[in-house]
Structure 1
Amino acid sequence: MKWIPALGLAALFAVGSTAAHAAKTIKVGNFFPDSHPVNIALNETFKKEVEARSNGELKVRIFSNAVLGGDEKLYNSVRGGTLEMAIIGNIMENEVEHVGIIQLPFLFNNYAHAQAVFASPIGETLVSDMTEKTGLHFLAYGVQGFRVIASNRSIQSMDDFKGLRLRFPGIENMIAIGKELGANITPLPISEVFSALEQRVVDGVENPYPNIVASKWYEVTSHILESNHVFTPNLYMMNDKFWNGLSESEKTIVSEAAKAAAEQEWKLLIASEEKDKQVLSEAKVEIIVPDAAFKQQMIDAVQGSYDNFYSGHPRAREIVEEIRAIKP
């Protein structure tokens, strides 16, 4: 009867072996609707590449539409390790030395300029202390886009900002930009924006075109000022402890899949802007493109943001000059 304990030992070994090779799951959170370029890219590229190239050893689950929370909650969840990965904005700018430079006003000329900057050594400089300061591993630069202002009234001069209640994200530098333009700023979670607009708690919201259309904010606004006042990236971030728990081949797979997804996201988002404008036109939303004089007045009004940023970040002025010098 000695075969019984031997069989039991073999069974235990088999169970242990199976557990040791159980697939690792990468839960990816973001606050964008399923139709947004970031979620299309995550599903079509990141998830497929990671699962196929790892032969099923890595599984990807995508949680879109803020089901796991907005920027702040996603950021804290990835830092705390309850979420392996998230696509977030510049919410860590107060902790990471130079990443806040990205959202200084009127810094990037167009999408080609932004892409050229992120592909250059400057892109690495901006996130060089990310892991040390946040416990997050940076994977890739995605794109939300250039921010415009959707509101329930026309904005055609600096005077039109006076008394305008605008929702801006709760990021110090972003709030300062809104105030410098002359608006009354209300920070709100992105999930509360639609109802705030509908109930006239705020008069408007600033965000890139794809977010305005995907979130259907155009249904409760009537005008858009194409200010392009700030460029906002998407940062593909992973919990550093989880990252370090991956094998070298798994790290390569995840890193390359994230970069491929981000590349697809850029292409989709840039292509989607004209379609988004068509949707807005059909919804009778007036798009106002500021003339050169009005644009320069906005640029002049927000220069205090640069002075404030430079005072706390000694190398920032040099980096900004490098960014402006890059030709795509």
Structure 2
Amino acid sequence: MSILRKFGLAVLASAAIVASAVSGQAAELMLRSSDTHPDGYPTVEAVKYMGKLLEERTKGRIGIEVFHSAQLGEEKDTIEQTQFGVIDLNRVSLGPFNNIIEETQVVSLPYIFRSVDHMHKVMDGPIGDEILAAFEAHDLIGLAFYDGGSRSFYNSEKPIKSVDDLKGMKFRVMQSDMFVDMVGALGANATPMPYGEVYSAIQTGVIDGAENNWPSYDSSGHFEVAKYYTLDEHLIVPEILVMSKKSWDKLSPEDQAVVRQAAKDSVPHMRELWAAQEKKSEEKIRAAGAEVVADIDKTPFIEAMKPVYEKHVTSEKLKDMVARIQATK
């Protein structure tokens, strides 16, 4: 790691410690948690709720300070900081892990889940536990999965009603080879880009649009510059709450159990907030005049994904996981 990198991490660590100190929290151990989303977003509020559970269950010994709105950096940077132990907890999308942890590729596949309920059944069961466990080899402890909604395409140019309408268009995607290939399989051009740069990139014509769920399309303000939203629902990718293994290893086994359970118990709360936020965001976006294409034949989109599956599901391990997910009722 470069001297500049070390210095940057040290500065962030100091800033986080100072922020915790001035927050007035009385907890003996204040865990620093990062989220790219704004204050009030369901994932942010879910981690705050986890913090309340921790304070109650440890009688104030352990708490959580949530740094929302990418205060500690965009997801790719905060993942590295969490691995180094500068950040204790991190709520991140699974996309950036696709090139690092192969198990995350399966649940990031386009149309792997038939519905949100199907996703919940898979992630709440043995397959979800298997994926969480895979993070430890990468200096992270997988604690729980949160909802990321159904991701669909939006753009500034035209309503998209078929695969042909996507041809030649430029879309931002998360920094994942799979998502680049997904957009390419639809005949469009993928541009990996940090989330915080998307608004200006659409506004200036660097890209035509992006893809995301209702709450993110709303909270990011992207609907202001990309008013055409097509509900193709190509991805239903869960998000993950991870903890730095360095921070985890400093806890006693008893406190580790409390942290893990508090994370699990924050999931139902997050899902309630998510469902409410999806409804609220949809109403706001429609009222703002965005053109929503809801009646769309997904079959051509699904068929176009065959090369993506062939490229990314290569090992017997991943093929077995795909089969188990598809067999989950």
Listed as ranges, the gaps of 5+ residues in structure 1 are 1-21
Asked if 1 retains the 8 angstrom alpha-carbon contact of 2:162 and 2:296, the reply is no
Residue 17 of structure 2 is matched in structure 1 by none
Q: Tell me which structure has the larger Cα radius of gyration.
A: 1
Please tell me whether the aligned partners of residues 46 and 260 of structure 1 are also in contact (alpha carbons under 8 angstroms): yes
Task: Measure, in 1, the Cα distance between the counterparts of 2:271 and 2:249.
Answer: 28
Equivalent residue number for residue 158 of structure 1: 163
The worse-fitting range, judged by mean Cα deviation, of 70-79 and 263-272 is 263-272
Map of 1:118 onto structure 2: 123
Residue type of the partner of 2:86?
A: T
Q: Show the counterpart of 1:107.
A: 112
CA contact (8 A) 1:83 1:239 kept: yes
Is 1:81 aligned to 2:91, yes or no? no
Please name the residue that 2:16 is paired with.
Answer: none
Q: Give the Å deviation of 1:274.
A: 2.3
Residues 93-242 of structure 1: pairs in structure 2 closer than 5 A: 93-132=98-137, 134-152=138-156, 153-242=158-247
Deviations 1:206-251 (A, max 9, x none): 0111111111111111110101101121111001121121122321
* Separation in 1, partners of 2:91, 2:307: 29
- Please, what TM-score do these two structures have when normalized by structure 2? 0.88
Equivalent residue letter for 1:117: V
Letter in 1 for 2:327: A
Paired residues, number: 302
Q: 3-state SS of the aligned residue for 1:95?
A: coil
SS in structure 1 opposite 2:106?
Answer: helix
Cα RMSD over matched residues?
A: 1.5
DSSP 3-state at the match of 1:144: coil
The answer for unaligned runs of 5 or more in structure 2 is: 1-26
Tell whether the 8 Å contact from 1:166 to 1:186 is kept in structure 2 after alignment: yes
Does 2:326 correspond to 1:324?
Answer: yes
Deviates more, 1:250-259 or 1:299-308: 250-259
SS of residue in 2 equivalent to 1:27 = strand
Contact 2:83 2:246 (8 Å CA) reproduced: no
Deviation at 1:290, TM superposition (A): 4.2
Percent of aligned positions that are identical: 27
2:6 corresponds to: none
Relative distance call for 1:127 and 1:49 in structure 2 (3 A) is closer
- Deviation for aligned residue 1:270: 2.4
Residue-by-residue CA offset, 1:176-220 (whole Å, 9 max, x unaligned)? 101111111111100111111111211111011111111111111
Q: What's the counterpart of residue 7 of structure 1?
A: none
Residue matched to 2:317: 315
Cα offset, 1:145, TM superposition: 1.3
Question: In the alignment, which residue of structure 1 is the partner of 2:20?
Answer: none
Instruction: String of CA shifts for 1:114-154, please: whole Å, max 9, x gaps.
Output: 0100111111222332211x110110011111101111121
